Structure 1
Amino acid sequence: MNQQLEQELIKIIKSDLWMIGILKIVRDLRLNDCWVGAGFIRNKIWDEKHGKNRTELNDIDVIHFDKSNSTKQYDSQIESKLRIANPNLNWSVKNQSRMNIRNGHEQYTDSNEAISFWPETATSIAVKLDFKNQIKYIAPYGLEDLFNLLVIPTPKFDLTIYNERIEKKRWKEKWNKLEIKTGYNTCIKHS
């Protein structure tokens, strides 16, 4: 891993009290292999790189990995606890031990492997706050694409669905410095 980018990621998150507050709420649930990821991290870094204030999130993606209780009902119970802790946020909880079924894959071994199947390398990143108040992260494809404003499909995600997602998200309108690959070798350059 690139230590300079790792330090920058940690510094950016530590300086954002809103993010730290969310990470504390999630940490205090004491869930197994639990992280906050996707747009929570991606948008923050892209906002920083574009000199923007916080871009509104659709939801806060909380993932965990627990084979002992992989029901949707359990995730709903966790969401209810999170709504009690902060009712102003749209919480989305997904136990990654069952996501392989939805995605038609073999059983994942942990959250890190599960997020390697997410659509973009810049989205396949998650963070948590441990009980020593240290920020930890997982990033199966590293941090380079995220910090270099590159939107690249992960090798494990369907390109047709990826391209539909890119069109629907309209990220270039929010972050014009992004370089978006529409396939494994083609890019939409800066505007």
Structure 2
Amino acid sequence: MIGRLPLDEQLVALKSALSRNEVLLEVLDRTASLALPGWYMTAGCLFQTVWNVVTGRQPTRGIKDYDVFYFDNGDLSWEAEDAVIRAGKEAFAGLPAEVEIRNEARVHLWYEQKFGVPCAPHPSTEAAIDCFAATTCCLGVRLEPGGRWRVYAPHGLSDVFNLVVRPNPVLAPKEVYEKKAARWRQQWPELTVLDWPTASHGRGASQREAPLCGCGGGGI
């Protein structure tokens, strides 16, 4: 099983799986051309591509959109973020997929209104990725000069390849995790969805309290 391989071999397997999704590769390439600060493609489009490949499905099946995070705390206005979003719409024109670009430096300005819990300002894109409702979601990939892939995976890749959805009680509330997990299970019934812990660290707990593995910031 790929999830039991050493991390360097899992990184190679990740690139191989993601490369099966031609839309994903095109989004990576076009995002790189935008030169956004601290950007990553992240979340569902990555782990769901892997799930599709592992289960023998078409690589793009069930993927709603392609999320791109970047970090610019020099201008927290909506107008500045909207300008990037509009530039992205031009860059991604013609792709058979929706690409959603968000400045993670601004998340604290709208998170509580949307999800009902406060969010402290993120210090980086990586910190924002750390706060997804499931550790399985905590994954980011970007292209660096020379075509090198930079991979951020603070919880490793074993759960992604083993089709395990594990809660991450750092910020997002329990209901967000359960709603997402239920939706994913409808698309990928092979998933093992772990229960939200009865006694969690609580919202806003330090990410350092969550189990980490040495896969953050790898390159392939």
Q: Fold-level match, TM-score > 0.5?
A: yes
Residues 59-82 of structure 1: CA distance to partner in whole angstroms, max 9, x if unpaired? 221100111123333232222222
Superposition map of 1:64-83 within 5 A: 64-83=70-89
Moved more, 54-63 or 28-37: 54-63
**Residue 30 (structure 1) shift:** 0.6
Give the secondary-structure state (helix, strand or coil) at the position aligned to 1:122: helix
- CA–CA separation in structure 1 for the residues paired with 2:55 and 2:20: 17
What does residue 160 of structure 1 align with?
A: 175
Query: Are 1:50 and 2:55 an aligned pair?
Result: yes
- CA–CA separation in structure 2 for the residues paired with 1:60 and 1:79: 13
For the Cα contact (< 8 Å) 1:159–1:183, is it kept in 2? yes
Moved more, 24-33 or 135-144: 135-144
**Residue 15 (structure 1) shift:** 4.5
Moved more, 14-23 or 92-101: 14-23
What does residue 17 of structure 2 align with?
A: 12
Q: TM-score, normalised by structure 2?
A: 0.76
- CA–CA separation in structure 2 for the residues paired with 1:100 and 1:114: 10
Superposition map of 1:64-103 within 5 A: 64-87=70-93, 88=95, 89-101=97-109, 102-103=111-112
- CA–CA separation in structure 2 for the residues paired with 1:163 and 1:15: 29
- CA–CA separation in structure 2 for the residues paired with 1:55 and 1:112: 27
What does residue 3 of structure 2 align with?
A: none
- CA–CA separation in structure 1 for the residues paired with 2:180 and 2:21: 28
- CA–CA separation in structure 2 for the residues paired with 1:166 and 1:56: 14
Residues 32-57 of structure 1: CA distance to partner in whole angstroms, max 9, x if unpaired? 10011111101100001110002142
Letter in 2 for 1:93: I
Identity in percent:
20
What does residue 176 of structure 1 align with?
A: 189
Root mean square deviation of aligned Cα: 1.9
- CA–CA separation in structure 1 for the residues paired with 2:80 and 2:21: 30
- CA–CA separation in structure 1 for the residues paired with 2:36 and 2:179: 33
Letter in 2 for 1:68: G
Give the secondary-structure state (helix, strand or coil) at the position aligned to 2:34: coil
Letter in 1 for 2:147: N
For the Cα contact (< 8 Å) 1:113–1:140, is it kept in 2? no
What does residue 37 of structure 1 align with?
A: 42
Query: Are 1:61 and 2:75 an aligned pair?
Result: no
Query: Are 1:147 and 2:155 an aligned pair?
Result: no
- Could you tell me which runs of 5 or more consecutive residues in structure 1 were left unpaired when the two chains were aligned: 186-191
Residues 108-134 of structure 1: CA distance to partner in whole angstroms, max 9, x if unpaired? 221111111111111111111112111
Residues 139-168 of structure 1: CA distance to partner in whole angstroms, max 9, x if unpaired? 22221211111111113132232113323x
Q: How many residues of Structure 1 are paired with residues of Structure 2 in the alignment?
A: 183
